[in-house]
Amino acid sequence: MGTDSIVAETATRVFRDRCDPQAIVAARNDGWMAGAWSQIEGAGLSLAWVPDDLGGAGAEIADGFAVLRETGRFAVALPVAETLLAGWLLARAGISSPTGAMACGPAREGDRLTVAKDGTLSGRLRGIAFARGAGHLAVLAEREGGGLAVALLSAEGLRIGDETGPAGDPLNTIALDRVWPLAVKDTDIDAEALLLMGAAVRAMQMAGALEAILDIGVRYANERVAFGKPIAKFQAVQHNLARLAGETATALAAAGSAADAIAGGADQDALFLEIAAAKIRVGEAAGEGAAIAHQVLGAIGFTREHILHRFTQRLWAWRDDFGSESQWAVKLGSQVAANGADALWPMLAAR
């Protein structure tokens, strides 16, 4: 996954100018958000995966993932990834994307919505990131009597909880009871395909956030003096940071490979292996990596005033979206067992 595309450069510039974690921590209120969002939207970043004729920027799949890596590197506390994914989902049913922030679901294993014969939607969604504050929702639902549909809903009037995730970002339960959508159309994708795409999105964001905390850890170790020298000179600290580099590297390779598989139009079996493996391994790296970064930074890393928590809290939260490590591992392990021991290596080597 190269970061050398124009889209990625734009994302880096906009996020650095408008979402810099240090500036946000210093600001102590949410006043920065509106301006930042309009810049992001104006640059076409939030609708990168929506074709021109459906109101989007019509960028490549790889470009969208490059934006997502940057959202992780800056711990962007705005629904960029969520709107990107919602736009992708709407496009899969040929529905135009509205302007403004969107949320997307289902995002939890087992959650399902139904479309009744009269066209209304019912059901319950858990763990929908940034639902509160979004203008619209893009959802996948089962049609009563068979088939799958994508629906665009206005957030206005919906029963959206006011929960937040560990980083303070909205992470909401939504109860739908015979809600009329703005649009509903048949689609060729299923719940698993949405979970996979969402998992690949979160994996890439986590990889970006791991890059950032490695950077923060290395800088801090070189600046912080204890026992008469920078703590970077202590072998125990060096080895902790080397382990963090290992986790970060593994996350980058796994998330980058999954994104590349999607961009390259890999077949269903290959996508399942690539994305399930990425979500599992990157989720593990997120847990390990956050723990190491906090150990290196000591007490200061545990405060509101330091930026580290903006990354680690999101790493913890992103692990749970669109299937956790354990959930994907049970699915992947069951499939490997069903295919038999001798099919495992050929499956791995085909990627």
Partner 1 sequence: METELTFDPVRLPLECQRLRADVRAFLAEEMAAGTFTPHIGGIDGAYSREFSRKVGARGWIGMTWPKKYGGQERSFLERYVVTEEFRVANAPVRLHFIADRQSGPVLLKYGSDRVKADVLPRICRGEVCFAIGMSEPNSGSDLFAASTKATKTDGGWLVNGTKVWTSNAHNADYLIGLFRTSAPTKENRRHGLTQFLVDMRTPGIAVNPIIQMTGHHDFNEVVFQDAFMPDDHVIGEVDGAWKQATSELAYERSGPERFLETYYVLTELVRVLGAKLDTRGAEGIGRLVAQVHALRRMSVSVAGMLHAGKEPVVEAAIVKDVGTIWEQELPARARDLAAFVEEQAGNRVAFEEVMAFATQAAPKLTIQGGTTEILRGIIARGLGLR
Residue 214 binding partner 1, by CB under 8 A: yes
**Are the C-beta atoms of 78 and 102 separated by less than 8 Å?**
no
Instruction: Select 132 or 202, whichever has its Cβ closest to partner 1.
Output: 202
In the three-class reduction of DSSP (H, G, I as helix; E, B as strand; rest coil), residue 173 is classed as strand
Considering only the stretches 44-52, 151-159, 178-186, 323-331, report the one whose residues sit in contact with partner 1 under the rule CB under 8 A. Answer: 323-331
The sign of the dihedral angle between the CA atoms of 348, 65, 306, 224 is positive
Instruction: Select 277 or 308, whichever has its Cβ closest to partner 1.
Output: 277
Instruction: Select 15 or 130, whichever has its Cβ closest to partner 1.
Output: 15
Residue 326 binding partner 1, by CB under 8 A: yes
Give CA–CA dist 229/163, Å, rounded: 44
> Which residues have CB under 8 Å from 60's CB, separation 6+?
5, 263
Binding residue for partner 1 (CB under 8 A) from 135, 284, 291, 295?
284
> Which residues have CB under 8 Å from 17's CB, separation 6+?
39
Strands 102-105 and 136-143: parallel
Considering only the stretches 44-52, 171-179, 274-282, 310-318, report the one whose residues sit in contact with partner 1 under the rule CB under 8 A. Answer: 274-282
Structure token pair of residue 168: 């303070």
Give CA–CA dist 275/210, Å, rounded: 18
Dump the DSSP string for 82-123: HHHHHHHHHHTTTPPPPSS-EEEE--STT--EEE-TTS-EEE
Instruction: Select 138 or 237, whichever has its Cβ closest to partner 1.
Output: 237
Task: Indicate the residue type of 111.
Answer: D
Residue 287: alpha-carbon gap to chain centroid: 15
Binding residue for partner 1 (CB under 8 A) from 57, 84, 212, 292?
212
The 331-350 site mask, x for binding partner 1 (CB under 8 A), equals xxxx-xxx-xxx-xx--xx-
Residue 164 binding partner 1, by CB under 8 A: no
Considering only the stretches 33-41, 173-181, 216-224, 298-306, report the one whose residues sit in contact with partner 1 under the rule CB under 8 A. Answer: 216-224
**Are the C-beta atoms of 294 and 308 separated by less than 8 Å?**
yes
Instruction: Select 6 or 330, whichever has its Cβ closest to partner 1.
Output: 330
Least distance between partner 1 and beta carbon 237 (Å): 8
Least distance between partner 1 and beta carbon 177 (Å): 33
Binding residue for partner 1 (CB under 8 A) from 39, 215, 294, 316?
215
Least distance between partner 1 and beta carbon 254 (Å): 4
Residue 195 binding partner 1, by CB under 8 A: no
Residues 226-265 touching partner 1, rule: CB under 8 A, are 232-233, 235, 237-239, 241-243, 245-246, 248-250, 252-254, 256-257, 259-260, 264
If you ran DSSP here, which 8-state letter would residue 164 be given?
Answer: B
Give CA–CA dist 275/262, Å, rounded: 9
Structure token pair of residue 189: 């994708």
Least distance between partner 1 and beta carbon 43 (Å): 21
Structure token pair of residue 306: 């330091």
**Are the C-beta atoms of 70 and 48 separated by less than 8 Å?**
no
The 47-86 site mask, x for binding partner 1 (CB under 8 A), equals --------------------------x-------------
Instruction: Select 157 or 228, whichever has its Cβ closest to partner 1.
Output: 228
List the Cα angle 20/25/31 in 5-degree steps: 80
Instruction: Select 37 or 318, whichever has its Cβ closest to partner 1.
Output: 318
If you ran DSSP here, which 8-state letter would residue 299 be given?
Answer: G
Of the candidates 201, 160, 212, 156, the one whose C-alpha atom is nearest the C-alpha of residue 182 is 156
Summarize as ranges the residues that interact with partner 1 (CB under 8 A): 1-2, 73, 211-212, 214-215, 218-219, 221-222, 232-233, 235, 237-239, 241-243, 245-246, 248-250, 252-254, 256-257, 259-260, 264, 273-274, 276-278, 280-281, 284, 325-326, 328-334, 336-338, 340-342, 344-345, 348-349, 351
